[in-house]
Amino acid sequence: MNTHTVDTGTPFIPADAYDTAAFYAEADAIAIVTNATAPDAVALPSEDASTAELLAAAREAGHRAVPAPLAETALVARPLLRCVGLPVPDGPLSYAIAPELTIRYAHPAASAVGSAGSSGDDDTLLVTGTLRRVPWARSATAVVVLATAPFGPVLFTLTPDQAVLTPGGNLAEEPRDDLYLATLEIPASRVRRISPELLDEARLRAALARSALIAGAAERCVDLTVAHTTARTQFGRPLSHFQAVKQEEARLIEETALVRTAVQAAAPLDFGGPAAHVAIAAAKTQASASAAEIARIAHQLHGAIGITQLSPLHLATTRLWSWRDEDGDETYWARRLARPLTAAALWPTLTTTP
Amino acid sequence: MSPSTLSPTSTLSPIAFPDVALPESARRLRAEVRAFVDEERARGTVLGRPDSWLAGWDPGFSRRLAERGWVGMALPTEYGGAGRGFLDRYVVIEELLAAGAPVSAHWVSDRQAGPSILQHGTEEQRRFFLPRIAAGQCFFSIGMSEKNSGSDLASVATRAERTADGWRLTGTKMWTGGAHVNDYAIVLARTEDAEDKHAGLSQFIVDLRASGVRVEPIHLMSGEHRFNAVHLEGVDVPDGMLLGQQGDGWKQVTGELTFERSGPERYLSTFPLLVSLLRELEQQPATAEQLAQVGILTARLHSIRRLSLGVAAALDAGHSPDTQAALVKDLGTRLEGALVDTVRSILPTPADPHATPGSHPELLAFALLHSPGYTLRGGTNEILRGIITRGLEQH
Ligand SMILES: Cc1cc2nc3c(=O)[nH]c(=O)nc-3n(C[C@H](O)[C@H](O)[C@H](O)COP(=O)(O)OP(=O)(O)OC[C@H]3O[C@@H](n4cnc5c(N)ncnc54)[C@H](O)[C@@H]3O)c2cc1C
C-alpha cells in the first residue's frame, strides 16, 4: 500500500460556517424541554393547549431540530396518559406501540376461566420483550407503552431504568434506543385497560406529531435554501436569478406548503372521528412522500456546502429522511387511507372536511 | 444556533395558507348540488368525463344550473347574481368538476368575465352583461394569447385604433377556447405604443358575431374542436365596450389571473379518471401495491385541495394571493398529469379512444390526449415558478 503525504494546508472553512459540534453539545434535551429560559428553547406547551397550538410547537421543534422529544411528549404521551387517567410525569416523555410484547398476569387467578393467564387477581402484569427504537428513551422520564395483553389492549408506563437499554440512533443521530424488558413487573396502578380505538388514536397521534415535525424541517430547508440562493453568486449573479434555480426552488416551496397545509387540516378535528382518520392518514402519507423531494432540492441548490456539517442543512434533511419512516411510512398510511375507498366514497371522503 | 427564521403564522406567506372552515351553509349547499348532479346524471347530461371545464359544452346544462342560482353566484343580487361568497362558489364548482359535469359553456363567464366586469366595467356594462351571465345566457371567451405572445403576454400585437365613436381592432388571437360557440370575448389589445410594454394595453369586450370577426378552427390532437384562431379584421368596437381604463389592461389581466389559477379546475381535471379506476378495482380485490398508490394520490389530492381552499378563503377576505395561486396551479396541474400516468400504472390498460364512451380505456385515452394542456393553460408552470420564488424572496 502506498503512503501519501497530504498537505492539507489551511483548512477551507467558510466564514459563516455552522457550528455542528456546538449544536450537538447543546443537545441537553431535558433542559430544552423543561426550561423555557434555556437559550433558544422551544417551550413545552402547557397541558391544556389546543391541538393547533401543539402542532405549531411541534413544527417549531422540527424547524429548529430541537434535540428533545417535544412533539412526542406534547402530542402523544401526555394526551394518552390524560385519556386513561394516569398521572402525567414532568419532563420529556416517550412512547412505544408494541403489539409484539409477551404479557401475562403477575397474579393469575386461582380459578382462571379459559386459557391460562386469561384472568388475574389484579392487573399487575409481567412483560417480556423488546421495545424497538424508542425515541429519546435514554432521556425520558417515562415511556408510555401500548400493547396487547391477554385480556385486550393495555396502556402502561415504565421508566427507562427498568429496562436494559441498547442505545441507537436515526440518521440525524436522534436517540432511538431499544429497551429490553425481562419479565418486568408493572404494578396494576400503572396499567390501564384501553379500547382498541385508543390504541388506534395512539398511532394517529404519533403519525400527526411526526408529520408536524416533518413540516417544520421542510420549512427549515426552504429558509436555508432561499437564504443561500439569494446570497451566493455565480457568473456574476445571485443563484436565485437563474431560471433553472427558480424552477427547482419553487417546487421546494410548493412541496413544503403542501405538507404544512396537510398537517394543519387535522388541527381542528376530534381524534376519534373518521374525519381525523382521513386527515391524519393523508398528512402522514403526504409528509413522508414529500420528504425525499424536499431534501433533494434543498441539497441540490446548496451545492457542495450542503453535504457537509459546515451547513446546518443536514440538521433538517437527515431528520426528514428519518421521520418519514417513523410512525408509519407513506406506504403504510397510503394503504390505510385507500382501503375503505370506493368509486362512490372517494369524493365524499375528500370533502369530509372542512 | 441561529435564531429561528420561521415566519409567524402570517396568513399570506406563500407557505402558510389560511385555515379554512366552510360554514354550515356550505354543507347544505353541497348536498343540494349533489342532488342536482344526480338528477342531471339520470337525464344523461353528466357523463363523468375528465376535463369537463374545457370539453363539456352544454348550454342547456349551464342554464339549468343558472336557474338554481349557481352561475355568477358571487355576483351581487342587484346584477342578477346570488350575492354569495367565493367559498360557496367553490363548493359548487368543485362538486361539478368532481362529477365531470359539462360546465365549459359558462366557465369563463362565471370565473373571469363576470368578476372582471363587476370590478372594472361601467354601470351600463354591468347592467347589460351581469344578469345575462348569471342567467347562463351569455358566454365569454378569453382573447389574450397570440401567435407570438404566449408566456410574454405583454408583447401582444393586436391593435385598437381610435375611430369617431370607438375603436377598430386588428390582429389575430390564438388558442381562443370556445370562440366558435360563445357570444363575446374579452380581448387584450394595444392602444398606445409605450416604452414599457406593460403600458398602453387595454381590454375590450368584443361581440364574436360582429362583422370583421373571423373564427378559424384549430383542432386538438384528439381531433376535437375547442380552440380557434380569432382574426380581428378591422372590427368596430363601440366606446362603451372598452373594459376598465384605457391603458390599464395589464393590471386588469394580471388581477384576473389569480381567479383563473387557483380554483378546483387546477387539480380536478382528471379526477373522474381516478373514480373510474376505483370502479374497476371494485371488480377485483385491490393488491397492497395498488392500495398504496391510490392512497398516495388521494393524500396529494386532499392536501392540494386544502391549499386551493386557502386561496379561495384569502380571496373571500379581500386579499389578492397571486403567489399562492401560482403555487396551487403548479402543484395541481402537475398532479392532473401525474394522475393519468399513475392510474395507468396502477391498472395497466391500453388507452383506447374507440372503446365504449365512458369506459375506463376510453376515459384514459381522453385524459391522456388532453394532458399536455394542463400545465400550459392559464400561464405555463415555468413562468408561475418564477412568480413563486419571487414571492418568497420578497416575503
Ligand atoms: C388547453 C389550453 C387552453 C387555452 N385557452 C386559451 C384561451 O382561451 N385564451 C387565450 O388567450 N389563451 C389560451 N391558451 C394559451 C395559453 O395561455 C398559452 O399556451 C400559454 O400562455 C403559453 O404560451 P405558448 O403556448 O405560446 O408557449 P411559449 O410561451 O412559447 O412557451 C414554450 C415553452 O417555453 C417556456 N418558457 C417561455 N418563456 C420562458 C421563460 N422566460 N422562462 C422559462 N420558461 C419559459 C414555457 O414555459 C413553455 O414551456 C390556452 C392554452 C391551452 C393549452
**C-alpha grid cell, residue B236:** 368596430
Condensed to tens digits (0 to 9), the pLDDT of residues A325-338 reads 999 999 999 999 99
Q: Is the pLDDT of residue A270 over 50?
A: yes
Residue of higher predicted confidence among A1 and A124: A124
Asked if the Cβ–Cβ distance from A261 to B30 is below 8 Å, we say: no
The DSSP bridge partners found for residue B232 are B171, B213
Dihedral sign for Cα B365, B371, B373, B374, please.
positive
Q: Is the pLDDT of residue B163 over 90?
A: yes
**B146 CA distance to ligand 1 centroid (A)?**
10
Dihedral sign for Cα A326, A328, A333, A334, please.
positive
Smallest Cβ–Cβ distance between A246 and the set B286, B303, B386 belongs to B386
Peptide bond preceding A99 in cis form (omega within 30 of 0): no
Condensed to tens digits (0 to 9), the pLDDT of residues A308-324 reads 888 899 999 999 999 99
| Closest-approach residue (CA) in chain A for B329 | A254
Average pLDDT taken over every residue of chain B: 93
DSSP classification of residue B266: G
On whether any CB of chain B is under 8 Å from the CB of A40, the answer is: yes
Ligand 1 pocket test, pick from B175, B333, B370 with the greatest ligand atom count within 8 Å of Cβ, gives: B175
Q: How far is CA A117 from the centre of its chain?
A: 35
**A131-146: average pLDDT:** 95
**C-alpha grid cell, residue A90:** 414532568
Q: What is the dihedral of CA B56, B61, B67, B70, to 10 degrees?
A: -20
**B37 CA distance to ligand 1 centroid (A)?**
33
Dihedral sign for Cα B190, B191, B192, B197, please.
negative
Q: Is the pLDDT of residue B264 over 80?
A: yes
How many residues comprise chain B?
A: 395
CB of A249 within 8 A of CB of B389? yes
Smallest Cβ–Cβ distance between B302 and the set A220, A267, A282 belongs to A282
DSSP classification of residue A120: B
On whether any CB of chain B is under 8 Å from the CB of A51, the answer is: no
Q: Quick one: angle between helices B360-374 and B322-346, nearest 10?
A: 150
Condensed to tens digits (0 to 9), the pLDDT of residues A89-124 reads 988 999 999 989 999 999 988 765 555 456 788 899
Ligand 1 pocket: which residues have CB below 6 Å? A 243; B 54, 141-145, 150-151, 175-177, 373, 376-377, 379-380, 382-383
Region class of B351: left (phi > 0), else alpha (psi between -120 and 50), else beta:
beta
**B149 CA distance to ligand 1 centroid (A)?**
8
* A 302-331 → B contacts, CB under 8 A: 312, 330-331
Q: Report pLDDT for A354.
A: 80
* A 53-72 → B contacts, CB under 8 A: 56, 59-60, 63-64
Q: How far apart are the first and last CA of chain A?
A: 67
**A158 CA distance to ligand 1 centroid (A)?**
62
Condensed to tens digits (0 to 9), the pLDDT of residues B48-65 reads 999 999 999 999 999 999
Minimum mean pLDDT among A134-143, B157-166, B234-243, B251-260: which range?
B251-260
Smallest Cβ–Cβ distance between A254 and the set B296, B309, B331 belongs to B331
**B334-352: average pLDDT:** 95
Residue of higher predicted confidence among B290 and A9: B290
Q: Report pLDDT for B89.
A: 95
Q: What is the Cα–Cα distance from A256 to B144, expressed in whole angstroms?
A: 32
Asked if the Cβ–Cβ distance from A286 to B300 is below 8 Å, we say: yes
pTM to 2 decimals? 0.89
- Ligand 1, atom 43, lies closest to the CA of B382
Å from B105 to nearest chain A CA?
24
Asked if the Cβ–Cβ distance from A330 to B296 is below 8 Å, we say: yes
Phi, psi of A170 (to 5 degrees): -95, -170
Region class of B367: left (phi > 0), else alpha (psi between -120 and 50), else beta:
alpha
Q: Which residues of A touch B331 (CB under 8 A)?
A: 254, 258
Å from B370 to nearest chain A CA?
22
Condensed to tens digits (0 to 9), the pLDDT of residues B84-126 reads 988 999 999 999 999 999 999 999 999 999 999 999 999 999 9
Going by pLDDT thresholds of 50, 70 and 90, the confidence category of residue A11 is: low
Give the whole-number percent of chain B exceeding pLDDT 70.
Answer: 97
Secondary structure (H, E, C), A145-180: EEEEECCEEEEEEECHHHCEEECCECCCCCEEEEEE
Q: Report pLDDT for A21.
A: 66
**B101 CA distance to ligand 1 centroid (A)?**
26
Q: How far is CA B376 from the centre of its chain?
A: 12
Å from B144 to nearest chain A CA?
24
A-B contacts at Cβ under 8 angstroms: 178
Which SS3 state, helix, strand or coil, does residue A27 take?
coil
Q: Report pLDDT for A318.
A: 93
Condensed to tens digits (0 to 9), the pLDDT of residues A173-225 reads 889 999 999 999 999 999 999 999 999 999 999 999 999 999 999 999 999 99
**Beta-carbon neighbour count of residue B127 at 10 Å?**
13
Going by pLDDT thresholds of 50, 70 and 90, the confidence category of residue B5 is: very low
ipTM above 0.90, yes or no: no
Phi, psi of A156 (to 5 degrees): -145, 165
- Ligand 1, atom 50, lies closest to the CA of B377
Angle at B259 between CA B367 and CA A230, to 5 degrees: 95
- Ligand 1, atom 30, lies closest to the CA of B150
Minimum mean pLDDT among A66-80, A293-307, B381-395: which range?
B381-395
**Beta-carbon neighbour count of residue A21 at 10 Å?**
9
| Residue labelled with grid coordinates 399513475 | B342
